[in-house]
């Protein structure tokens, strides 16, 4: 997902993201959804959330 798409998603959720980086925006969305703000963190090594919207990008970010 592109940064622009993620920014739009955040805006539609009523979140203000300004000039945050992609990972920061995703973690803000995760928090707003009541999820663990784990995107791009070490949690990827033991994450079993196969249906996570961010999984593919998260795995790429942690290689």
Contact yes or no for 37/31 (Cβ under 8 A)? yes
Are the C-beta atoms of residues 30 and 39 closer than 8 Å to each other?
yes
The alpha carbon of 28 is separated from its chain's Cα centroid by a whole number of angstroms, namely 7
| Six token digits for residue 53 | 């919207």
Residue 14: its pLDDT value, please? 98
In the 8-state DSSP scheme, what is residue 43? G
Tokens read off for 58: 């998260």
**pLDDT in the model for residue 62:** 82
Give the SS3 label for residue 1: coil
Q: Tell me, what's the pLDDT at 10?
A: 98
Backbone angles phi, psi at 56, to 5 degrees: -60, -50
pTM: 0.91
Q: What stretches in the chain show pLDDT beneath 50?
A: none
What is the predicted pLDDT for the residue at 45?
Answer: 87
């Amino acid at each position: 997902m592109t940064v622009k798409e993620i920014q739009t998603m955040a805006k539609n959720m009523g979140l203000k993201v300004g000039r945050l980086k992609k990972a920061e925006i995703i973690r803000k969305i995760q928090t707003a959804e009541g999820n663990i703000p784990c995107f791009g963190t070490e949690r990827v090594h033991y994450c079993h959330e196969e249906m996570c919207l961010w999984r593919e990008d998260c795995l790429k970010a942690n290689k």
